Amino acid sequence: MPKNRKKIMEEFRCPLCLSRECETFVKYDPKHKDYYCSTCEYTGTENDVKKMYAVITSRFKLLNKRIKTF
Ligand SMILES: [Zn+2]
């Protein structure tokens, strides 16, 4: 396991860029106490980012389940 693996896991990916299937990390702004993306215009607190992750992962809720009847 790489040394900076834990550090990467603690950082957040930008939810807007992630929904466009592009991976960019958000940076923390201590002045406004929120996260911002350097690629797009996204800014938000830690809770905002986690809420948007929940919306994105809801698309893949049935990924591991085989649908037999419609
Ligand atoms: Zn972004």
Q: Is 35 helix (H, G, I), strand (E, B) or coil?
A: strand
Task: Give 8 Cα–ligand 1 centroid separation in angstroms.
Answer: 17
Ligand 1 mean position, distance from CA 11 (Å): 14
C-alpha–C-alpha distance, residues 30 and 65, integer Å: 42
Q: pLDDT tens, position by position, for the chain (70 residues)?
A: 566 666 555 688 999 999 888 999 999 999 999 999 999 999 999 999 999 999 988 888 888 889 898 8
Q: Which residue has the tokens 């900076």?
A: 4
pTM: 0.68
Q: What is the dihedral of CA 7, 21, 39, 55, to 10 degrees?
A: -80
Tell me how far the alpha carbon of residue 27 lies from the centroid of ligand 1, in angstroms.
10
Phi-psi region of 33 (alpha: psi -120 to 50; beta: other; left: phi over 0): left
